[in-house]
Structure 1
Amino acid sequence: MKKILIVDDEINIGLLLSRFLSKHNFQVNTATSGSSAMEILSKEDYNLVLCDFRLQDTDGRELLKKIKVRHPQTGVIIITGYSDIKLAVELIKLGAYDYITKPLYPDEILNTINKALETQKAFSKDYSADNSSPVIKKGGQIMPEEFIIGQSATSMELMRHIKLIAPTNYSVILTGESGTGKESIAKAIHLNSGRKDKPFIAMDCGSLTKELAGSEFFGHEKGAFTGALFAKPGHFEMANGGTLFLDEIGNLSYETQAALLRTVQERKVKRIGGLKEIELDVRIIVATNENLHVAIQNNRFREDLYHRFNEFSIHLPPLRNRGNDILIFADAFLKSTNAELSKNVAGFSEDVQKCFLSYNWPGNVRELKNVIRRAVLLTEGNIVQIKSLPLEIANYSNTFAAEKAYALKPLSEENSHNLKDATIQAEYATIIQVLREVNFNKTKAAQLLNIDRKTLYNKMKSINLSKK
């Protein structure tokens, strides 16, 4: 049953629409404000939002923008009391499916809703493969269930690359820091290829020893070596017809790389201890968090193998460089964690959101997910507060508050070659660096600088570092 959320501050209109749509086999909920609508959407997915343009706390334009950022798969139809072609064009450009003017006619509403849902089929149809439940979320592309689509230019470019490369048989190198979601991108490429009904086999090369690598890649026959009690297919064989994803490819030994090169070139594999060559039809996607060009220069990675893999490359930027996508990811993890813990946390405080956008996220998306799961577990109300965040992240909030409380006045650049001025500049830079490192705790800063608090206060005053 399709789910529709009606947003209208006139209770009678919301009630009439709800009764009408319920009779036509829709599951309907209502909200009387933009804020309550966003809270409802944070807890449950809806196929469609039917929204009045004029609301007491916002308007349809602003609510549409929020819905498309937080819930891009949800369709939106705007209802208004007057016809304005320019406004209609603007709303559709912002992502609305359509625009209906009052008075409302039941047949027109039902027809518009059905058309919106028909169009949405290309974006929301369920798809099952390999015991997972990926869904089509954008532009007709099938995505892994854990895949989150951002709204930044970087995310749009990433989606474009997936759409471009997926239908081909090109080998792909995925680069980026650990935790940026390389395996999820590999799955997305596989699911949008002609191999989507065949196996997707993931292999962590970082955990392979030189002794085990041959058996894991190529398989072995019974008795091929001590401990080989049974015949075992390798990952190439298991992925035949589908996609083999090799994570942390830069960690393979040079000898293993040589054996891998032969298999990739000839598209044949022979089990250890076996005589039969097995023909391979495997697409290879590899991932690394290190610079393979440097590894090649240092003779740690074979250049010929690199060029075999590098028919196409995609770089995944770190989370700290993805702007407001961080909040989209946070909302998605909040929703999944609510389901996991049977909780109803509605969102994040403004301080938490600012903290998320400012923190450098060394563990990237993986770290963000773990932080959200911990924070939701600790949250007693319906909003995640700073106190529920890990200390190293919460301290960022304290640091930024402290920095705002100070006016950092630049020193004069006159007589820049004067030794005394140069000494003052160096002292200024050192004090500021230490203060930031200890979150503006002046006692700790004085200890690190090996001076007492009074001396630190005097020096701060002398270099124009004063409270606002």
Structure 2
Amino acid sequence: MKSVLIIDDEINICTLLSKFLGKHGFKTDSTMTGAQALKMLKEHPYDLVLCDYRLKDTDGARLMSDIRQMSPQTVVIIITGYSDVRIAVEMVKNGAYDYISKPLYPDEILSLVNKALAQQPATPVESTHNVVAPHAHEEPATPAARMQKNGRSYVFGESEVSRELYRELTLVAPTDFSVIVFGETGTGKESVAHLIHEHSSRKGQPFVAMDCGSLSKELAASELFGHEKGSFTGAIGTKIGAFEQAHGGTLFLDEIGNLSYDIQVAMLRVIQEKQIRRVGSMKEIGVDVRLIVASNENLFESVQKGKFREDLFHRFNEFTIHIPPLRDRTEDLPLFVESFTEQVSKELNKPAAPISEEVWECFRNYDWPGNIRELKNVIRRASLLTPAGKEITMAALPLEMKAGSSTPRYTAASAENPGDDMPEGMMLDSNDLKSVALKAEYNKIINVLKAVKYNKTKAAQLLNIDRKTLYNKLRLLNINY
């Protein structure tokens, strides 16, 4: 039985880690001080030490040095808060096996501990923050290419569009190019950004993600560049902005198109000068970050409409990755479903439920407007509702999916049929105003789709709505193609 010593000045963390690792077959001891830890190591050698960087009587760097002198074969993993990540990285370079950031996630801890104990202490190993994946010039080891991240896998799939996504990602990741990740909501833009970072030379440095869609004009400058104490009402202390937090690493900005014009101007200056100025300060602070930005709208179209600065767009657009929607890679569905059922099986601690043929047929015909995120949620819900030993049936699916599978749909195959009337299953009272409006909307959408040869992007433009709204209407009206 492997032995683990837990050193943390928070009794709750010591207790939780001891119980969790104990349940998984480890012999655990814990202490809240460095002095007591060294005394315990003298009396009994441990296979692995989980050590908080900040302790009341010492720090992780000094304690790790003492541990390595006293017990060179003991593997050391550092537990750190976000503000100490850079120090933790230096400790990894100086002999720690790896570091893990708070908040702590049990599965991540278990995976890291198992991996650390499986390695010889003297053998150089890569951090679990690296991507376990082929180099850019190699083909995937198997058709179902996966990249690992903190014990969880990103499934690329076997379809042509999935292979192209994998090829582009592995080509650009080792470079320092700025990247635009374009894809609909739920396609996994942040996951792809993580993989780019973790397969780059910055993999041991911070990865900072920020959702620009939730930032007001006033809040954006503070969140991105930081502020000084007293710089505005409510600024009760100095704040470190996202650019400073990501120094040396990668900054991922989601929904970049939502930034106000003023912030876009400030952003352009930061990228050009590689310096930021906190709100309320005149001091310039140098920053070195790789930028990955994401949008579910075409940024070039936003430039043409005057909503996004062209010069900033070209600063970002050193490389663009398009993540295909799930409906364009349905041949990858079995791989995604297998991966998600495995994950949920572990979460629920019960065998993965097989999927009935009726549900598979529904999956293949469904539009998946929420993409991979929606599929994962559907699998989680269905697995929870399905008793152990039973297969997932239509009864476990959300109402919108069951309704769509039971109602006649307009399909591409029926496009050649004369007439544009709604299928009978969708007809309502002809005297009802809502029914008349729905029928008119249905016919208009069908006619536009025919005119653009079923190109949904062009159809949305002609209808003067965004793609997400169009997909919602297609689902509501049961139009599938």
Instruction: Specify if TM > 0.5.
Output: yes
1:458 matched to which residue of 2? none
- Give me the whole-angstrom Cα distance separating, in 1, the residues matched to 2:202 and 2:381: 37
- Counterparts of 2:165 and 2:224 in 1: how far apart (Å)? 29
Q: Which residue in the other structure is 1:304 paired with?
A: 311
The unaligned stretches of length 5 or more in structure 2 are 1-124, 135-139, 433-481
TM-score w.r.t. length of structure 2 = 0.58
Conserved 8 A contact 1:199-1:242: yes
**Residue from 365, 377, 380 that aligns with 2:372:** 365
Distance 2:414 2:214 in 1: 48
1:46-445 aligned within 5 A: 127-129=127-129, 135-136=132-133, 138=140, 143-144=148-149, 145-380=152-387, 381-399=389-407, 425-426=418-419, 429-430=420-421, 433-435=422-424, 438=426, 445=427
Report if aligned partners of 1:218, 1:236 keep a CA contact under 8 Å in 2: yes
Q: What SS does the aligned partner of 2:128 have?
A: coil
Q: Tell me, yes or no, if the aligned pair for 1:126 and 1:135 is still in contact at 8 Å.
A: no
In the TM superposition, residue 377 of structure 1 has moved relative to its aligned partner by 0.9
Aligned to 1:36: none
Cα distance, 1:232 vs structure 2: 1.0
Cα 1:410/1:265, change in 2 over 3 Å: closer
Confirm or deny: 8 A CA contact 1:171 1:284 kept in the other structure. yes
What secondary structure sits across from 1:233 in the alignment?
coil
AA aligned to 2:401 is I
CA distance in 2, matches of 1:206, 1:362: 20
**Residues 38-75 of structure 1 deviation map (CA, whole Å, 9 limit, x = unaligned):** xxxxxxxxxxxxxxxxxxxxxxxxxxxxxxxxxxxxxx
- Aligned partner letter, 2:217: K
Q: CA deviation at 1:281?
A: 1.2
Q: CA separation of 1:403/1:311 partners in 2, compared to 1, >3 Å: closer, same or farther?
A: closer
The TM-score with structure 1 as length reference comes to 0.59
Distance 1:225 1:171, change over 3 A: same
Question: Hey, what's the Cα distance between the residues in 2 that align with 1:320 and 1:251?
Answer: 26
* 1:356 to 1:277, Cα distance in 2 relative to 1, 3 A: same
Deviates more, 1:363-372 or 1:378-387: 378-387
How far apart are residue 403 of structure 1 and its match? 9.2
Give the Cα–Cα distance (whole angstroms) in 2 for the partners of residues 141 and 345 of structure 1: 20
Decide whether aligned partners of structure 1 residues 393 and 142 sit closer, same or farther in structure 2, where only a CA change above 3 A counts.
closer
CA deviations over 1:249-280 (Å, ceiling 9, x no partner):
00111111111110011111111122321211
Gaps spanning 5+ residues in structure 1: where? 1-124, 412-424, 439-444, 451-468
Tell me what 1:22 maps to.
none
- Shift in Å at residue 141 of structure 1? 8.4
Aligned in 2, Cα 1:333/1:153: closer, same or farther, shift over 3 Å?
same
Residue identity matched to 1:348:
I
Further displaced range: 382-391 or 134-143: 134-143
Alignment partner of 1:201: what SS?
Answer: strand
TM-superposed CA distance for 1:383, in Å, is: 1.2
2:276 is paired with a residue whose SS is strand
Q: C-alpha separation between the residues in 2 aligned to 1:449 and 1:398?
A: 25
The structure-2 alpha-carbon separation of the partners of 1:141 and 1:243, relative to structure 1 and needing over 3 Å to count, comes to farther
One-letter amino acid of the counterpart of residue 434, structure 1: P
Corresponding letter in the other structure for 1:399: T
Deviation at 1:409, TM superposition (A): 12
Check whether the contact 2:178–2:290 (CA below 8 A) recurs between aligned residues.
yes
Q: How far apart, CA to CA, are the structure 2 residues paired with 1:324 and 1:449? A: 43
Q: Structure 1 pair 126/350, CA: closer, same or farther in 2 (3 Å)?
A: farther
Residue 154 of structure 1 deviates from its aligned partner by 1.1
- Secondary structure at 1:195's aligned position in 2? coil
Note the C-alpha offset of 1:214: 0.6
Q: Which amino acid aligns with 2:198?
A: L
Matched to 1:349, the amino acid is S
Q: Does the 8 A contact of 1:214 with 1:256 survive in 2?
A: yes
How far apart are 1:447 and its partner, in Å? 2.6
**Counterpart contact for 2:146–2:154, Cα < 8 Å:** no
Partners in 2 of 1:334 and 1:127 — Cα distance?
27
Mapped partners of 2:416, 2:242: distance in 1: 60
Q: Output the CA distance in 2 between the equivalents of 1:409 and 1:257.
A: 45
State the match for 1:447 in structure 2: 429
Residues 276 and 449 of structure 1, relative CA distance in 2, 3 Å threshold: same
Contact map agreement 1:257 1:305 (CA 8 A) in 2: yes
Q: Measure, in 1, the Cα distance between the counterparts of 2:415 and 2:272.
A: 62
